[in-house]
Chain A
Amino acid sequence: EIVLTQSPDFQSVTPKEKVTITCRASQSIGSSLHWYQQKPDQSPKLLIKYASQSFSGVPSRFSGSGSGTDFTLTINSLEAEDAATYYCHQSSSLPGTFGQGTKLEIK
């Protein structure tokens, strides 16, 4: 099973700050890496597919990069509504596995 490890587990950030969340895979997964946002008491929502492709309707401040084993989700100019837990997910080997999540708190 491919293990995804996210860092950090928790981050407290101020509005307008730039945030970077990383996801490392235990083996190469090409670009089969996707990012989701889950706000409290809501279901997850797709942000980025295939490492860097933005999903429809996602604000442009969210971007993704990486390939192989190392991936990054970047949030430029953080807004208060971005308080959430972010998960990466690999689909290189179905059904895929999720990272443990990164919780973003807005100061």
Chain B
Amino acid sequence: QVQLVESGGGLVKPGGSLRLSCAASGFTFSDYYMSWIRQAPGKGLEWVSYISSSGSTIYYADSVKGRFTISRDNAKNSLYLQMNSLRAEDTAVYYCARSSWYVDYWGQGTLVTVSS
């Protein structure tokens, strides 16, 4: 069965950095677009970034452009999100998601808290 397991979340000070990872299993990882979607506490869903199956096409939300970098390693069935210059408003649960035109599988999420 499809499994997406995020790791790397935690407490970080404003201006700091964090790297999220997502380990995928149960499907051919290299066939799928993958995404990071976040949810601030008590709020709705926001698409942060997506990456095509080969890594050649990448999207970033304006709110993270220039600060976050998405990448993938198809040999390791892994998705990553490097987050730099973190701000308080980046505090959220970050979900790894298998996404084509819709998200059919979501990870359990990893909480990122940006606070001094």
Contacts and interface: CB of A to CB of B under 8 A. Distances in A.
A43 B47 contact: no
B50 A89 contact: no
Interface of A: 32, 34, 36, 43-46, 49-50, 55, 87, 89, 91, 94-101
Interface in B22-36: 35
Given A55-B104, A94-B101, A99-B44, 14 more contacts: A34-B102, A34-B103, A36-B103, A43-B95, A43-B109, A44-B106, A49-B102, A49-B104, A89-B102, A91-B101, A95-B35, A96-B47, A98-B44, A98-B46
Most chain B Cβ neighbours within 10 Å, of A43, A49, A50: A43
A23 to B, nearest CB: 13
A46 B2 CA distance: 14
Contacts, number: 52
Contacts of B59: 94-95
Contacts of A43: 95, 106-109
Main secondary structure, interface of B, reads strand
Interface string B42-82: 00111100100000000101000000000000000000000
Which range contains the number of B residues in contact with the other chain?
10 to 19
Interface string B82-109: 0000000000000100010111111111
Nearest to B61: A95
28 contacts: A32-B101, A34-B101, A34-B102, A36-B103, A43-B95, A43-B107, A43-B109, A44-B95, A44-B106, A46-B104, A46-B105, A49-B101, A49-B104, A50-B102, A87-B45, A89-B45, A89-B103, A91-B101, A95-B35, A95-B47, A95-B50, A96-B47, A96-B101, A97-B47, A98-B46, A99-B44, A101-B44, A101-B45
Nearest to B48: A95
Contact of B45 (A32, A50, A55, A98): A98
Nearest to B4: A43
